[in-house]
Structure 1
Amino acid sequence: MTTKITRLSEAGAATDIIAEAFGNDAISTWLIPSARDRMPIQRRFFGMYVAHALYHGDVYGIHESGELAGAAIWFTAPFPGIPGEEQAIASFAGENAGRYGVLGQMLVRLHPQVPHHYLNFIALRRGRTGRGLGSLLLEEHHRRLDALKMPAYLEASSEASRRLYLRHGYVDVAEPVRLPDGPVMYPMWRAPAGV
């Protein structure tokens, strides 16, 4: 099968992939306990960030045999906040908005204050995992970072994703962080190759 990585110029397809991949993970389940409400709310949330990255970051898509199979969303930190983000989340998340606030505050506290690129989301369509596509997406941006001598930062949302990032040169930069009565996140850092 042939693979190709491109920069995406619209948010819809990448949002669909990210929502499908993360819509029912441990963090989404913590944010929105109601399974009925979870996917519509998370689709709005992820879509907001993908759209913001089209102007203030990089949105990559990996195509396999002509079909979009995955997406990665990167920001150059520091990046501007999303105008009206809190109000937007309150409008679509309703009673769950407070949890988004807790998560957002935690991520701001963890975020390094030195220049870096931030991997906000990386996701593959169901049935496309375990074939190296996520690694190809990471390597595409890592080559750019290495050329710029720029580090990268992310928060792994599971032990499985943490293992993937460890294989790609990331290291733990803090103790794992647990959301209140919720799942664990792993802050990770990658120094550029050769530095």
Structure 2
Amino acid sequence: MIEIFVEPTEVAIAVLSKEKIDHAANVMAGAFATDPLGSYLLPDARNRLDVMRWFWCEALRHSHPHGRTYTTAPEILGIASWLPPGVRRKMFWGLWLSILQTLYRVGWRSTHRLFALLEFTEMLRVRHCPSPHWYLDGLAVTPESQGRGIGSLLLQPVLDLADEEEQACCLYTSTERAVRFYQRQGFVVCEEARFQTEAPPLWLMVRSPKDLN
């Protein structure tokens, strides 16, 4: 995420291929391993990056069949992973139950925190975005590529589609820097809250479709 807007560099945006999911998961893990929420969920820094890689590999395999996971080509400089309206609420339990099978490596404290976060964010989504909507599962740009407008470019295909179909887009984030970035993309903060007393704040954000008429 960037704080100062700059004109986007010319890069090609493409749908992520199945063969590049592992590489994309590494990009996601590197971005979220230092995020305040990632540090809270997985306080043991020794295995945090490995668990994050595993998680994002599973998450990207979940979202990939829907064809709305975007990257740059030919080199992966960033990833935007979307789930279309209705998909997450129907399928996400299988993903999180598989995570439970792996979390024995990080302990039950992290397991409890993950499921508490899951329940909390689903509650926020139902409260603020009850109609069918696009859900941004994750957005990451490699550190050396930030400040080039790549994050905005990665979001644009689904933002355009949401406008055409008159559907909202929804996400949550855990840094003020990211909040400012998403506000520039048309998202509005609907609620700031903590899912546990000691957890970092979360911002639930929604983007209403633009009137194209």
TM-score (norm 2): 0.84
Q: 1:179 aligns with which of 169, 192, 195?
A: 195
1:114-153 correspondence to structure 2 within 5 Å: 114-153=131-170
Query: How far did residue 122 of structure 1 move?
Result: 0.5
**1:40 and 2:50 matched:** yes
**1:8 and 2:16 matched:** yes
Which ranges in structure 2 are unaligned for 5 or more consecutive residues? 1-8
Q: Look up the equivalent residue of 2:45 and give its one-letter code.
A: A
Q: 2:173 aligns with which of 142, 145, 156?
A: 156
Query: How far did residue 172 of structure 1 move?
Result: 1.3
Secondary structure at 1:153's aligned position in 2? strand
Q: Could you say which structure has the greater relative contact order, defined with CA pairs below 8 angstroms and 6 or more residues apart? A: 2
Which ranges in structure 1 are unaligned for 5 or more consecutive residues? none
> Matched residues in 2 for 1:166 and 1:24: separation?
22
Structure 2 counterpart of 1:165:
182
The answer as to whether partners of 1:56 and 1:75 remain within 8 angstroms in 2 is yes
Distance 1:138 1:99, change over 3 A: same
The structure whose residues are more often strand, as a share, is 1
> Matched residues in 1 for 2:162 and 2:72: separation?
18
1:16-55 correspondence to structure 2 within 5 Å: 16-55=26-65
Q: Look up the equivalent residue of 2:56 and give its one-letter code.
A: F
Secondary structure at 1:117's aligned position in 2? strand
Query: How far did residue 113 of structure 1 move?
Result: 2.3
% identity of equivalent residues:
29
Q: 1:92 aligns with which of 79, 102, 110?
A: 102
